[in-house]
Chains A and B, each alone.
Chain A
C-alpha cells in the first residue's frame, strides 16, 4: 500500500486550488476543505507507514526528463526518514489548521490564508517525497514561496512586508548555494538521485564543495548562523504560520536535507565538522539572544534557531538518528509552544512579555500545555525533549570534540533558562498591565492538548524504555545504538534543572522583570544580547546599505545615462526628421518624379557603358 504516497501532497494541493479560485465564495468552508485534505494526507501517511513496515519501498511514477541521456524519474521516496517526516508534517499541519480556524477567525483574507497554508503543506510533503535533487529543489522553492507569502500575509503592515522580503532574500542566498551544489554534484557524479549517493566513493574536493554548498541551502532554510537573521523577523506572520512553517516543518527542511544527503557528508570529515560547528554556533548564539528578548514570539523564534542548531550539531557529530529524532520531537513541542504563544497573544493582544503575567489562572488549558511544552524543550525527563536532546549530547560526547559537546550543554542550560523565564513572566506573578484575558475557543485549545500529548510521549519511542525503536526505524534496522553514559544523562538533567532554577531565582523569587543587580554588572553583555550581537546592524552596514547605494547609483545611471541615450536617440530622430520633413510633400507627382529620376539612374548604372562608352 506504499503506492499511494504520491497522493499525499496531491490533496493539500487540490485544497489550495479550490481555495485560491473559489475562496471568496467558500468563506468559512475553505478551512474545512483544507483541514479535510490535510486529514486525508495524514491517513494516507499512516497507510504508507504500514506499507513501509511490510517491507515496501520507493517507487517511480515514470520518466520526467533526460539529463545527459540518463532518465530522471518522478520518483517517490518511501523510507524511514521520509515517512517520519510525512507523519510529522501531516499531523502537525492538520492540528495547526484546526487551530487556525479559531485564530484567523474574521480575518479579511481568511480563505487566502488556508489556500497558502495548503500549498505550503503540499510543497513540504512533495519535498519530503522527492527522490532526486531537481524535484527537491522545486518543492524547496515552493515552501520558500509559501513562507514568503505567509510572513507577508498582513502586507498592509510595513514590518510584515519587509520581513517577508528579508526572509525571501536571505534564504535565496542559501538556495543559490544549493543550486550550485546540485549542479556540481551532477557534474561530478552524473546522478541526482538520493538513493545513488550511497554508491559514491572517494573524497573528491568537488564533492566536498558540493556538500558544503548543499549545506548552505540548509543553512538558509533552517535559519542557521550566519543566515539566521530572517527567522525572528518572520514572526510578523500569523502565529499559526510561525508554528507550522517557522518552527515545526519548513525550517526543519534544512535538517531534513542534510539527513537526506547524509551519505555525501560522510565522505569527508570537513563537511561534518562544518555542519556541527555551524549548528553549535547557531545554537548557542540564538539561545543567548533568547534569554533577554521580550517578545514572546521572538523568544520562540530564537529558540527554534537554537534547536535547529542542535539538530545540525547532532548530525554533524555523526548522530544521524539523534538529529532526526530531535527534529521529530522538536516539531511537536515547538509547534505546541508557538500555538500556546498564539493563544496568549490572541487573548491579551500584545506580544510583550513585560506586560503579561499571571495568565495561568485565566487561561488554564493554554497555561498547562504551555508549561508542558516548556518542560519538554527544557529537557526535563521524561518528556520528549529530554530523550532527543540526550541523544544529541550522547552523540557529541562519543564522537565530537569537547568544544561541540560543551556548546550543546551550554545551549541546553540556556534553553531551560530562557524557556523558564518565558513562562514565569507570562503565566506566573501578577498582571503587569491592564488586560482582560480569557481562554481561547475550543478549536484552538483542542489542538494544544493533542500536541501536548505528543510533546510528552513522542520521546518514548526513541528512549531506552522502548529499546530505541525510533533509532532502529530510522537507521532501517542497522546502525549503532549509542549507549548513553550516566555522566551525560546526569549532566543533561542537571543543566535543565539548573536553568529552570536560575530563572526561578531571578524572576519569581526576586519578582522582577529584569534582575537589576546582575543587569548592572553585565550591562555590556545585556546590551550585546538585546541587540542580537549587532548582526542585523553589521549586515545592514556591510551588505544592505552598500547594495542600496549601488542600486541608487544604478538608478541614477539608468535615469541619466540609459534614459539619456534612449531619449537622445528619440530626440536625434526627431531632429533629423524635422529636416527631412520637407522631402515628404504629399504630392504624388513629386514622388513620381523622384521615381523616374531613380529609374534613370538605375538604367544609367546598368546600361550606361553600353550606351555612352564612358
Chain B
C-alpha cells in the first residue's frame, strides 16, 4: 500500500502550485482558480489522514465536506465581486486595481 507521505507530498505540490498561481496570475478569475487548488490540497490531506489514522465517525471526510461547501460559497462571492469590479473598471486584471494605495 502507498504510504501516507505520498498523499501529503501530492498535497504539498498542489498547494505550492496554488500559491504560485495566486501570486502570479494577473487575471482575478485565475487567482480564484488557484485558491481552489490550495483548498483541494488541504482536502487531500484531510481525507488521507482520515484514512490512515482512522476516526470512528469519519471526521476528516465531514471536514472536507465543509471545506468544499465553504469553497463553493467563497468562489461564488469572489466571482460576483470580480464581475462587479469588471463592470466598474472594465478590467479583471488584479494589478490594474491599486486603490488600496493612498
Contact = CB atoms under 8 A, between A and B. Distances in A.
Contact of B94 (A587, A593, A596): A587
A586 B101 contact: yes
Interface in A564-614: 584-589, 592-593, 596
B102 interface: yes
Contacts of A588: 94, 97, 100
A587 B93 CA distance: 11
A585 B95 CA distance: 10
A585 B101 contact: yes
A596 B95 CA distance: 18
Interface residues on B, range: 10 to 19
Question: In terms of DSSP, what is the predominant structure of the interface of chain A?
Answer: helix
Contacts, number: 29
B19 interface: yes
Given A584-B101, A586-B101, A592 B95 contact: no
Interface in A349-390: none
A450 to B, nearest CB: 77
B22 interface: yes
B99 interface: yes
Contacts of A593: 23
Contacts of A585: 98, 101
A556 B100 CA distance: 42
Interface string B80-102: 00000000000000110111111
A592 B101 contact: no
B55 interface: no
A185 B23 CA distance: 77
A588 B28 CA distance: 11
Nearest to B96: A587
A560 B24 CA distance: 52
Contacts of A589: 22-24, 31, 94-95
Interface string A239-264: 00000000000000000000000000
Interface string A113-151: 000000000000000000000000000000000000000
Contacts of B31: 589
Contacts of A596: 19, 23
Contacts of A592: 22-23
Contacts of B19: 596
A107 to B, nearest CB: 58
Contacts of B99: 586
A586 B23 contact: no
Nearest to B26: A589
A113 B58 CA distance: 87
Interface in B10-63: 19, 22-24, 31
The 7 lowest CB-CB distance pairs between A and B, nearest first, are: A586-B101, A586-B98, A586-B100, A593-B23, A587-B95, A587-B98, A589-B23
Given A586-B97, A587-B100, A588-B97, 19 more contacts: A584-B100, A584-B101, A584-B102, A585-B98, A585-B101, A586-B98, A586-B99, A586-B100, A587-B95, A588-B94, A589-B22, A589-B23, A589-B24, A589-B94, A592-B22, A592-B23, A593-B23, A596-B19, A596-B23
11 contacts: A584-B100, A584-B102, A586-B97, A586-B98, A586-B101, A587-B94, A587-B97, A587-B98, A588-B100, A592-B22, A593-B23
